[in-house]
Structure 1
């Protein structure tokens, strides 16, 4: 029986996820280090034909797992200077006081200085009061962004995926770092990864891996939460926050609540940092490994 065709919203959401998580460079989209891309640029891609601003606003608002995040304002950064062949990409310099807090006047002055010096440094974006949903014509207006006097005109929408990138971002500016304290333990919750039972022997031997993505994805809860393991997961691996952090492996939480970790230098988290493992059969969970103890599966 053929698979039912996706609704327009679902099809647009899948394409949007591809562009923001994996295909930005291939589609010639400029992505900031925090993952934001101009929504107008996204909508201009042929893959997004037939999708408008109103549809995107609806998709973002109604997505149960909050996979996307919108920002309304402008990017005060000077134009990106692409390094010549063989040159390394220039690193961002430290910003003056007031810049990191999004002070529009400071950022506008700094942008002019950087442009005059032909330096391409990414600056924090400046938030502008979000309007009511606007038309594609208004969104593509040339009047967006800072003016020569340093005042801001109408901003524009930027959009990013909250997690799931295979694209290498320059940092974790879009994520919240988790500490091994009470607040951190509440954020990570169960810290569980769901996958297939058939992979258990391999994962146990080589470690939980981020594969082609930037991070290993973990859920803070099994039920009653917007972020849970996939319903068809037959293997649940629970991590130990304290052991992961003690091993020097960072842990983050995305804006929609997904727990993320890049793993070690090989992108993996070994069994020494696991709390327990459960097998799921017909909706029933059975502990098969816990703190080094094996049970019959």
Structure 2
């Protein structure tokens, strides 16, 4: 959803001469002054490959979404950064949202030697966020009526809310899943790590239990605690399962309650496209994900 929404929004902005934000890199500059720090570039290249480009790069993921590290190191953008096994292990360890998992490759490292410095002895995967086909059953743990998280919330933006309503709910679009969190980004002390961007402006609380009772869709949870669903047959989490939608920014109150609209966005709210959310190059739109306030 967000990719489609971002494209529409950016088109409108460009007509007004404002569509110039290409979402620059976070943090300091890499060598040459034009990009993000090297560690950020490495993490982004890994995410791009393991979530979206593995098939195009000729790298076959196993059932659980793992790729051989020696093959990953040959991926063009990673090779151009001169990435090593140590860099990859550091990227896994340093990821604040635990985006990746790494483990010994049983085919080449049957003893599970965790001190091995041979890249072919290791496998790496992205824990969620795929647009390439992976098997949910192998990659993720199912959410059932016995283990529904107390809170499941999706973060989105004022700019995208009208088109969420127009679409009838949250759509996964070209990604495999709609992403949700088990709490807010500021709840890290309570174990909430991932599933929502820190700058989300609207919180969509989803009634997962009701959707499971209705048999409407399947739900999953990743190793890093992101709650995911493919949605219904249309790839949609319908608005009837919105338990509550409430503003997180600019004193916006409750917009939706128990599957029904209770208010519109206040007229003074400006639907600005968030930084890095453009539909073109350098943004996070481009049709790759659902309404991707979650990550």
Q: If the length of structure 1 is used for normalisation, what is the TM-score? A: 0.70
CA contact (8 A) 2:68 2:105 kept: no
Match of 1:266 in 2: 234
The reply on whether 1:205 has 2:205 as its aligned counterpart is no
Cα deviation per residue 1:214-271 (whole Å; 9 max; x = unaligned)? 0000010013221252122122111001122123211100000001000011110101
1:24, 1:71 → 2: CA distance?
18
1:139, 1:63 → 2: CA distance?
20
Match of 2:16 in 1: none
Give the direction of change, closer, same or farther, for the CA distance of 1:200–1:38 in structure 2 (3 Å limit).
same
The 5 Å alignment of 1:126-205 reads: 128-134=111-117, 138-140=118-120, 156-181=121-146, 184-185=147-148, 188-205=149-166
Match of 2:292 in 1: none
The reply on whether 1:217 has 2:179 as its aligned counterpart is yes
Q: Kindly state the Cα deviation for residue 20 of structure 1 after the two structures are TM-superposed.
A: 0.2
Q: Which runs of 5+ in 2 are unaligned?
A: 1-20, 30-34, 266-295
The reply on whether 1:236 has 2:193 as its aligned counterpart is no
2:207, 2:85 → 1: CA distance?
42
Match of 1:250 in 2: 218
2:257, 2:93 → 1: CA distance?
40
Q: Kindly state the Cα deviation for residue 65 of structure 1 after the two structures are TM-superposed.
A: 0.4
Q: Which runs of 5+ in 1 are unaligned?
A: 77-125, 141-155
Match of 1:114 in 2: none
Runs of 4+ residues over 3 Å off in structure 1: 1-4
1:294, 1:139 → 2: CA distance?
55
2:224, 2:95 → 1: CA distance?
11
2:195, 2:137 → 1: CA distance?
22
Q: Kindly state the Cα deviation for residue 169 of structure 1 after the two structures are TM-superposed.
A: 1.4
1:24, 1:257 → 2: CA distance?
23
Q: If the length of structure 2 is used for normalisation, what is the TM-score? A: 0.71
CA contact (8 A) 1:35 1:160 kept: yes
The residue matched to 2:123 in structure 1 has which SS?
Answer: strand
2:263, 2:141 → 1: CA distance?
36
Q: Choose 250-259 or 238-247, whichever is displaced more.
A: 238-247
The residue matched to 2:122 in structure 1 has which SS?
Answer: strand
The RMSD of aligned alpha carbons is 2.1
Q: Kindly state the Cα deviation for residue 201 of structure 1 after the two structures are TM-superposed.
A: 2.3
Match of 1:41 in 2: 71
The residue matched to 2:212 in structure 1 has which SS?
Answer: helix
The correspondence for 2:248, drawn from 269, 273, 280, is: 280
Structure number with larger C-alpha Rg? 1
The correspondence for 2:89, drawn from 44, 57, 63, is: 57
Cα deviation per residue 1:34-81 (whole Å; 9 max; x = unaligned)? 1011011101222212000001111101111000001213249xxxxx
The correspondence for 1:25, drawn from 36, 55, 77, is: 55
